[in-house]
Every structure is written in structure tokens, then in C-alpha cells.
Structure 1
Amino acid sequence: MLNDGPDYTGDTVLIDIGVDENSIPNEKHYTQESDLKFPQKRKKNTHKYDYGSVVVIAGSKGMSGAGILSIEGALKSGGGLVTCYVPQDIYIPVVARAPAEALIKTYDCNITSDDIKYDRKKVILIGPGIGRAKNYSFILEHLLEGSLPVVIDADGIHHLAVVVDSLKESKTPVVITPHFAEFSKLIDVPREDILKDPIGYGQKFAIEYQVVVVLKGYRTMVFGTNGEIWFNSTGNPGMATGGSGDVLAGMIAGIAGQNVDLFEAARAGVFYHGKAGDYYAANFGQSTLTAHSIIESLKYVLK
């Protein structure tokens, strides 16, 4: 499962050898579609707010695409309404390229809690493409003091490192989605050391700070706050492409907005993100796979 191991093995197949999993202590799991509670059949007498109003705080000059990919990830995973807040200087290019179904709003460089309207919102995603030039640590502190679930991705993790102890005071559910370099920065441990014991470091952080950790890699690991670890069973190397993580963050937020527990949303988001990538790779190969390929393939796997 770890590091170069998958390059030396064939396909991993999970089989039942007749041992009741409840009869032995076990904290490691290999995610199968049957383990997930999402998606569920929709009731007929519903409206868009029943499926989540998601706030996305994303984008900056030169990285406007990150927010757009996150929006599409949230919408295509079933989010009822997505509102994306972007800096004023990229408002026009984002509006020109964003899905027509999304609401695009702006905030200035001195963003405050009053700039973001949370009425009827279900979940907040912050981080894709926000950059490191401006200070977002204080808005993170504000979000962590609130009651809405928060998904923190990409540069949001960079800013979280400044106020990481705020996680211990937070009462709201939180999921962070770092790759190994971002996780190294967050916990101030060399990447090489984490690679030697990713389970130990991921598990320790999730328990100590009571947050769900999605540690991204070929076999992405999702760490729960009680110590359990779920290895993802989907995905392929073609997904190692720019924007793939932005789509995943949007999917997790979009799923969580549908009244889905944040830990469950993280596992489901990771699984179906990888399954969409596998669908594309099986039909067209890995080399041409892009973030948009994942988005477009969701309609074939999220049924």
C-alpha cells in the first residue's frame, strides 16, 4: 500500500477468508463501495437546499482555475448550490469560465468574517488556489470558531500551519486534505521522515487535533479522529495532474453538504474521485487524463 510497494505488486483484491472482522481488534480498512453510505436515493419532495449550500473560498491571480475546478467538483458530486468567493482582481475571468449554476461573489484583500455570508450554508471549503501572498490565518480562526463543517485544502493548509493550535479549540468538524509535502509543512516534520511512517504521523495528528486527515497519494489514506485508517482502493497514476486535488476538495465539500458526516464524505469523495479517474483511464488511457476528465467521468460512476 505504501510508497513504492504498489509498483512491485499486482492488483490488490480483497477476499473473505471467513474471519468475522468484529472478532478481532482492527483499525486498518481497505475501502470498498459497499462500505460507503453515499450516494443515497433522493426523496421527491425536496429542493436545492436539502442537498447542501456550499461555500468555496478559492482562487487568486494566476490560480483562478483552482476555484472553478472545486466548484465543478462540488456540483458534480450532488451539491445543491455552490457559492464561490474570489478576490476582486480575478472576478471577471472566474465569472467567464465558471459553471453557470454557481454563484460568484467577491471579497477584498482585507477579508473579514462579515464578507462571507453563511445563511443557509452547510459546509465551507477554503484553500484551493488562494496563494500565500495574503494572510488567511485569521479567517481560518474565524471559521474554526463557527459551527459549519470546514474542508481545508492546498494553500489553506499552508495558512493553517500558522494557527494550527486553533484546531484543538475548535468544536466544528474539520477535514484537511494535504499531500505529503503540505503535511510536512503543517506538522514541521521532514517529508522523508513522514514517508517512513505515514500511518503513525497521520494517525497521531488526527487523534491529537480531532480532525479528519486525507493524506493524498496513490493509495490515499483517510484517518478518523478515533484512530481508524481507510486505505483507498481506487485511482491511478494518471491522476497525478494539476487540479486533481481541487476537484477532490470540492467533491468532499459537495458530499458533506448533503447531510453526510464529514468523515464519511471524505471517504466517499476519495473513493469516487479515484473511481472516476479509473473510468477515464480504462477507456482512454492515463496519459491524457486531466482534472476535467475526472469531473466528466463522475456521471458514469456516481449512480
Structure 2
Amino acid sequence: MRIVTNREMKEIDTWSMRTLGIAGTVLMENAGRGCVNVLEQYFNLENLKVLIICGKGNNGGDGFVIARHLQNRGAVVKIILSGKGKELRGDALINYKLAKKAHIDVHETIQYTTMKTIFNTFHPAVIVDALFGTGFTGAPRGMYYKLIEIMNRSDAFIFSVDIPSGINGDNGHFEKTCVVADATATMCLPKRGNYLYPGRAFCGDIYTVDIGIPYHLIDKGYPRVTTFEDIYRIMPLRPPDGNKGTFGHVLIIAGARGFSGAAAMAAISALKVGAGLVRLAAPEGIVDALESKLLEVVKVSLPQTTEETISTEAIDVLIPLMKRSDVVVIGPGITTHPETASFVFEILPKIKVPFIIDADALNCIAHNVQFFKKIKAPFILTPHPGEFSRLTHLTPQSINDNRIDLAPKFSKKFGGILVLKGAPTVIASPRAETYINPIGNSGLASAGSGDVLVGMIAGLCAQYVSLFDASRAGVFLHGLCAELAMEENNEYSLIASDLIDYIPQSIQYIMERKFVEEKSND
């Protein structure tokens, strides 16, 4: 599904009214009804006490519609309007008048003491945040600041309309305070602020409400949010008469003294996603250690430096192996030793099959990014913000703030698929195809997690999934591993090797379409 800026969503709303002839009141009615449908997934609405906090704009108008539909389904509803009804305009005013005619209890006030009294006497089970919406910028002040704080201190379930009030819909930022929601229903299409941090952390569960604009007319272009259905369609077939050649050969060039774990985790992860054969080429001094860790991986000893990193003499050993491989990975744990860096610059132009540049290989290239022009084969880059900073000379903060736009820009500049890791990870192609990964948790922020990811992407590439789709699927499955692990683990204790244990479950979850079953049971 496409993800939009505030301006893009406003343009879609205006276009739908002027060109398609869909009345604004119809869009607002559909939005409010859709929000109530989401709430019904959480609660039996009969006699449920719901307090709706309405602002004076269209977000508040959605709140008035929500109130009517909740009342129709048996809920006990009160509204706090942060102002006077006579200040409302357009569709919000129409729905305010309808709420009044429906005899819904509407309290029009800007007095914090009055609002606090309503909270303390009504004791709502649910608070609907329809205060600001996506267009809000700056810091909530005065009464608004206090109102948000009293919502957050409440024990009630908080449901935000479009985006938690106080969060900027374009970048996910907030100043001073914002609503902390348990669930958010975003209208028509998700907004960037729903998925960019810190905003994503305050949205809770995210739902997209169909407001009646035909999706086939607007759900085109990029960026997009990767969905479970996308990954189901990407997953490679497993013909029953297949063999290890059918499912592809991976060559992983990785490791150094003290970094054998990175090599090992990348190799086993490639096998776990279905690669037919994995060769792990590492400095000869660490191969014995790898032999004891990896029974199913073919080990290749490489000439090494005195510090037991990969030597330039390894190129002659690797060239015939690369010819027999479907995909090559280079970088996990190789260090930036000067001779190893020379090895990276010498070998990359010689690779003729698709390959992935990861970790220390990226750090080596950061000293000369013009080198990308010498690469002939299609490739994937997998930097985290620190590595991307070294490649681009941008600060990690600016990278995180602008990751959705930076990923396609530098994918085109460098000439390869770019997997910009982080929260959220963004996958982009030189053609500006851009996907945002919506799944994962902070447990992924630990040493070795990226080694698991690059192995998963490589294993999917080996099975003749395109580099772009393998990147999308690898990132998504990697995040799904972290989420599935929460049933028996926690975000504090999750380590990279735990992720490998959940690769089978993540694939099973997709292939058995358990995401459909969970959605129907909500």
C-alpha cells in the first residue's frame, strides 16, 4: 500500500471531491464508521463508555461521526469539543449539528478544569483522540498540552484518528508532548508519520480505513508499505523434484580472527531460508572454529594476512567458486584491514553474478564511493545509518529523519538496490521503487542481527527471487522473526542467534497464511 505525505493526502481528498464528485460529508462518514468498525475488533460496544476529544477541524468532524455510530451500536458516549460549535466550518459543522440532534452529550469548553472534571466523573473505558490530525505542527500549548497529558495519564484505551495528536504527519516528530495511542486508524492511505519514528512508537496498532475513494485510482506509485500479501507472492516455489542446484548456491566471503560469528550466522541463515548449498570462504586461521559450528555449510580456506584477515591472494581461490555460485555475499566480519580493503576493491569488479555488499565491505568502499561505477554485476547494499553516513557524509540523525527520500536517491547514485537498515528499514531501487518495512522490534538492534539479515536475503536471491524482491522479503521475514520470538522471549534478551531459530516459523507463518487467520480473529 502506498504511503503519503500530508500534502499528497490533501490533494487526493480534493481530487476525489472535485473530480469524482464524492462529497466531503461522505468521506467523513466513511472515516467515522470505519473507526468504529476497528474499535469493535477490541470491544463489545454495548454500554461501553467512550469519551471523544474533538478538535475544531476535520479530525474533530470524524470524531462527531464516530460518536453517532458508537451510539447506534449501544455505547455510552460523551464528547469534549475544545472550543465552541459556532467556530466549526464545513463538514465538521454538519456532523457537530447531527451529533447534537442525536442528543449526544457534547461539552463545548476550553477550560481545563471542566475537562478534568468530565474525565474524573465519567471514567471512560475508551478515549477517542480526534483532536489535531496529521496537519498539526509545532508544540501543543496551554489547554491542549494539559488535555493530552490527562489522556495519557488515563487508564483508558486510547484510539487516535489518523495519527496521535501532536505528531507531525510528515516526519513522525513531536514537540513537548503527544498522545500515546493503543491503536490508530489512518484514513484512506497511511501517512509517513505513522511509520517514521518516534511517531510509529506512539501509534500502537495501525489500521487503514477505506473512506470510499477507489483504491485502483490512487494506490499507485511510491513509497509503499510492504504487506504480508506482498511477501506471500514473493516467496519462491519449492518443486518436489528439486535438488540443491534447483535452490541455488550461495558463496559468502566473510570473517576474520574474532569475527567468525558474523560469518557463521550469515551462512546458516542463507540455508535456513532455503538455499540449496552455501559455501563459506573465510581466512584459514578461523576455519577450524567454523567447522565445529557449521555442519551443513561447505567451508573454504582463504589465504590470510598476519592478523588473520582475508588477503589479496584469496582472489585466485575465489574466482572459480564465484563462477559456480548464484549469489555472492561479501563483508560480514572481514574488518577494514588495509590489505583486506585492497582485496575488496580488487575482487568486486571480477564478480559476474548478483552479489551483496555488507558491513565492513561497505566501510572499505566508503573511502571511494566512485568505485561503484566499476561494478558490472547487479548488487545490493545493506548499510545501517552509521555505514550509510560514511558512504554519504550525512549525519546519522539526518539519515533517520529523511530515510524515505534518501534511500531511492542514493540507490540511483550508487547503481544498486539499497537496504537502508533501521526503524523502519527502507528498501529502494535505482528506478525509485521504494518500500518501507513495517515489522520488527528493538530486539533487532543487537550485534549480529545484520549478519542474519544478509544471509536471509542471499538465500532468497539464490532461489531466483529478484534482488529487489529478495531484499523486501528478507527484511520482512527478519522482522517477523523478531516479532514471533516475543511469544517466548523479550526485546531486551533477543540476540541474533535467536532470530535464526525463528526463520522456519516466519516462513511457515507466511506460507500457511496465518496473517489472514489472525486478521479474521481480531
TM-score, normalized by the shorter chain, greater than 0.5: yes
State the match for 1:212 in structure 2: 417
Partner in structure 2 of residue 235 of structure 1: 440
Cα distance in 1 for residues equivalent to 2:203 and 2:219 = 27
Whether 2:306 is the aligned partner of 1:110: answer: no
Q: Unaligned regions of 5+ residues in structure 2, if any? A: 1-194, 304-310, 509-522
User: In structure 2, the residue corresponding to 1:162 is in which secondary structure?
Assistant: coil
CA separation in 2, counterparts of 1:173 and 1:14?
36
Query: In structure 2, which of residues 424, 427, 430 is the aligned counterpart of residue 225 of structure 1?
Result: 430
2:199 equivalent to 1:5 = yes
Instruction: Please identify, of 106-115 and 286-295, the stretch whose mean Cα deviation from structure 2 is larger.
Output: 106-115
Separation in 1, partners of 2:488, 2:328: 34
Normalising by structure 1, we get a TM-score of: 0.93
Match of 2:223 among 19, 24, 28: 28
Q: Which residue is equivalent to 1:129? A: 333
Higher relative contact order (CA 8 A, sep 6+): 1
Alpha-carbon distance in 2 for matches of 1:264, 1:151: 14
Q: 1:176, 1:13 → 2: CA distance? A: 31
Matched with 1:192 is 397
- Aligned residues of 1:238 and 1:281 also touching (Cα < 8 A): no
Q: Find the residue that maps to 2:301 and give its secondary structure.
A: strand
Distance in 2 of aligned mates of 1:60 and 1:170: 25
Q: How well do the aligned residues superpose, as a CA RMSD in angstroms? A: 1.8
Contact 1:223–1:230 (8 Å) recurs in 2:
yes
Q: Percent identity?
A: 33
Count of aligned positions? 302
Query: TM-score normalised to the size of structure 2?
Result: 0.55
Larger deviation, residues 261-270 vs 209-218? 209-218
Comparing 28-37 with 172-181, which one deviates more in the overlay? 28-37
Partners of 1:122 and 1:15 in 2: CA distance: 42
User: d(CA) in 1 for partners of 2:371 and 2:329?
Assistant: 17
Whether the 8 Å CA contact 2:236–2:465 is kept in 1: the answer is no
CA contact (8 A) 1:137 1:163 kept: no
Partner of 1:297: 502
Bigger-Rg structure (1/2): 2
- Render the CA deviation track for 1:71-114: whole Å, top value 9, x for unaligned: 1110101111000011112111111112x110011111233432
**Which residue number in structure 2 is paired with residue 75 of structure 1?**
271
Which string of whole-angstrom CA distances, capped at 9 and with x for unpartnered residues, describes residues 216-269 of structure 1?
Answer: 112111112211211102101112111111000000001000011000000000
Within 2, Cα distance between the matches of 1:141 and 1:252? 24
How far did residue 165 of structure 1 move?
Answer: 2.0
**Alpha-carbon distance change, 54 to 202 in structure 1, aligned in 2, over 3 angstroms:** same
Instruction: Give me the whole-angstrom Cα distance separating, in 2, the residues matched to 1:23 and 1:9.
Output: 24
Structure 1: how far apart are the matches of 2:328 and 2:456? 12
1:25 shift after superposition? 5.0
Distance 1:230 1:92 in 2: 40
Structure 1 residue 177: deviation in Å?
Answer: 0.7
- Aligned residue type for 2:429: G
The 1:182/1:97 distance shift into structure 2, 3 A limit, reads: same
Structure 2 residue aligned with 1:91 = 287
Residue in 2 that maps onto 1:279 = 484
